[in-house]
Amino acid sequence: MHSLRKQRLQLVILLVIATSLAVGLVLYMLRENGNFFYTPAEIMSGEAPRGVYLRAGGMVVDGSLQRADDSLWAQFKVTDGIETLTVEYSGILPDLFAEGEAAIASGTVDDNLVLQATEILAKHDENYTPPEVADAMSEAYKQKQLQQEGAL
């Protein structure tokens, strides 16, 4: 390769490496700020600010959803596997909101460590399955659990 072209090639590579390094360092410094939500553990440990509008995300705990009979009020718990956070919300829950699925609640954490949410978003996972396969899988899972219980 011609020496002038080699020089330009080196300049181009240097440009890409230098910008990547600069942006990489900035992102590393701001890494926590890039997060869209806090985990229940961060909120319960006091790492997340109190009384400030924030988002909390986690898995909706099975059997934790309670609804009022005469209003849109609902209460449920979200967990990240370490801590559990109670969320209260008055409004329509998204279609994909369900126990055992991930959800993100926006609002403020009150003194009783309950998140008073003004918006609930459902966070779906990256798995896609046809209904029959999903049914068959949950059926097989139940069977296996029954067998295990029988063995005990």
Partner 1 sequence: MKVFSNWQWFHRLGSPRWFYQTTGRWLPWLSVATLLVLIIGLVWGLAYAPADAKQGNSFRIIYIHVPASFLALAGYYIMAIAGAVGLIWRMKLSFMVMKAAAPIGAVLTFIALFTGAVWGKPTWGTYWVWDARITSMLILLFLYAGVMSLQYAYHSVDAASKAGAILALVGTVNIPIIYKSVDWWYTLHQPATIKLTSAPSMHPDMFQPLLVMILGFYLFYALVLILNTRSEILRRERKTGWVRELAQSKSGFDARAGD
The residues that touch partner 1, with contacts defined as CB under 8 A, are: 1-2, 5, 8-9, 12, 15-16, 19-20, 23-24, 27, 31, 34-37, 39, 57, 94-97, 101, 104, 119-135
In whole angstroms, give the CA distance from residue 103 to residue 124: 8
Other CB atoms within 10 A of residue 60 CB = 23
For partner 1, give the closer residue by CB, 83 or 101: 101
Shortest spacing between CB 1 and partner 1, in angstroms: 7
Residues 6 or more apart whose Cβ sits within 8 Å of residue 59: 78, 79, 80, 81, 100, 101, 102, 103
Per-residue DSSP letter, 49: P
For partner 1, give the closer residue by CB, 36 or 151: 36
Shortest spacing between CB 16 and partner 1, in angstroms: 6
